[in-house]
Amino acid sequence: MTSPGADDRVVITGMGWVTPLGHELESVWKRLLAGESGIAPIDRFDARTFPTTFAGQVRGYDLARFVKDPAVHAGAGLNTAFALGAARQAWTQARLDDDARLDRRRIGLYLGAGEGVLDFDPYVASNLAGWDPATKRVDGRRWVEAALRLMHAEREIEQEPNMPLAHLAREFGIRGPAYNCLTACAASTQAMGEAFSIIRRGDADVMIAGGTHTMIHVLGITGFNRLTALSISKGDPTKASKPFSRNRDGFVMGEGSGMLVLERLSHAARRGATPLAEVVGYGSSADAFRITDIQPAGRGAAAAMTGALRQAGLDPAALDAKGRPGVHYISAHGTGTQENDSIETAAVKRVFGSLAPRIPMSSVKSMFGHLIAAAGSVEMITCVLAIRDRVLPPTINLHEPDPALDLDYVPNQARTADVDVCLSNSFGFGGQNDTVIIRRF
């Protein structure tokens, strides 16, 4: 692979997130390195009768802190509110407003965003309005009346997954390419990878990329409980998310948003922006297998990693000039389900061979929970910060290692490390696999 020229290189110049551990970059990073958990009992609805009663819920969030006019975003779903906060942080860090010559037609958006306001929200909020326990049916007229009382006039359209795009475009005056993908848990990693590709092919100079999602509602928890994908641990909720552990029993639902500013290097240099890291590779694949199961040999996950390594010009079997594997840290998808953790481990071994045990990998889902469409973007931010500070976030709750999983999962304690290259994995229901690689600039 030929090295990209200055006009092809893409750097990250801004980042922001809204998470179950807080809504500010540095304070959340400190909590992650301290191994703190954002998992707590659900209080958005009465979940006491559900098999799973806890989640990584965003708390204390005030949209008014992040937008020019909150009234403009009245009726927006939580996913949009989270996206606006994360994007404002990234936009500010990149100092995009400091350049009066900024061409908004050359700034684009690529989000991995899930649904926002749901039709049944008024039904839940009005305490099962119209429900007849005798017939076990809903009186449609009473349901609609309750919905109309509770819903903003424009609220119906806000359930569409592209609405965060519309709100972000208006808030920041973005008039370039605008895309949204909803490839389940791989969505925001795909969004970052595609945004990288858009800049390299010359269609934009700057892309705001990332994801936003919330599924902490009745249907979301019910659906994943019925899939037997969620942890149903009893006791301390902060101990429930335990990727790679012998006694792992499913993932913990989280919510929030992560946004990054991806920028052509020459454009960033002209503005005097500070590159935080460089994006060097992106790989994507489909399992072509079952809808709810990962291909058992991990062929799709391995293909995504191999594609990203190839684009980055990295040989997975070779050591670098310092005698290290070419990748120094893997941000694992690491959900905490029996299937995912086993197959991701196998896929990493398949790609890196004998070097796999020398590459540390950890899962911040053990602290955030699983942010679904937004998971990959918050995990990419941790990669950038790991490179900046030369420290790796831990996988907490890893006190009983699964003897079948024998890689280095950075158990329980953050670790200083000579890290210059990070690989971030995201795998979604339906067999979507995406990998992005960044390196120290």
Q: Say what the pLDDT of residue 272 is.
A: 94
Q: If you average pLDDT over every residue of the chain, what do you get?
A: 91
Mean pLDDT of 123-133: 48
Active site members? 185, 333, 370
Asked if residue 226 belongs to a domain, the reply is yes
Asked if residue 148 belongs to a domain, the reply is no
Asked if residue 4 belongs to a domain, the reply is no
Contact 359, 314 (CB under 8 A): no
Residue 118 pLDDT more than 70? no
Pairing of strands 107-113, 131-132: unpaired
Tell me 187's DSSP state: H
For 430, the domain range is: 11-116+161-439
Residue 71 neighbours by CB under 8 Å, 6+ apart: none
Mean pLDDT of 388-393: 98
Asked if residue 124 belongs to a domain, the reply is no
- The percent of residues above 70 in pLDDT, for the chain, comes to 89
Mean pLDDT of 391-414: 97
Asked if residue 134 belongs to a domain, the reply is no
Q: How many residues does the chain have?
A: 441
Torsion over CA: 78, 11, 351, 305 (sign): positive
Better pLDDT: 411 or 128:
411
Q: Say what the pLDDT of residue 155 is.
A: 61
Asked if residue 41 belongs to a domain, the reply is yes
For the stretch 221-253, pLDDT in tens is 999 999 999 999 999 999 999 999 999 999 999
For residue 239, give both structure tokens: 């101990």
Single out the residue of 402, 432, 56, 409 nearest to residue 231, CA to CA.
56
Residue 132 pLDDT more than 60? no
Type of residue at 327: V
Instruction: Check which CATH number belongs to the domain holding 362 and give it.
Output: 3.40.47.10
Mean pLDDT of 308-333: 97
Classify each residue of 287-298 as buried b or exposed e, where b means 16 or more C-beta atoms within 10 Å of its C-beta: beeeeeebbeeb
For the stretch 46-85, pLDDT in tens is 899 999 999 999 999 999 999 999 999 988 889 999 999 9
For residue 27, give both structure tokens: 């304070």
Q: Whole-model pTM above 0.85?
A: yes
For the stretch 337-379, pLDDT in tens is 999 999 999 999 999 999 999 999 999 999 999 999 999 999 9
Total number of domains in the chain: 1
Asked if residue 424 belongs to a domain, the reply is yes
Q: Partners of 283 in the beta sheet?
A: 435
Strands laid side by side in the 361-362 sheet:
178-181, 107-113, 206-214, 255-264, 10-18, 277-286, 432-439, 421-428, 329-331, 361-362
Asked if residue 3 belongs to a domain, the reply is no
Q: Say what the pLDDT of residue 127 is.
A: 45
Mean pLDDT of 430-437: 96
Single out the residue of 366, 374, 381 nearest to residue 414, CA to CA.
366
Q: Say what the pLDDT of residue 159 is.
A: 75
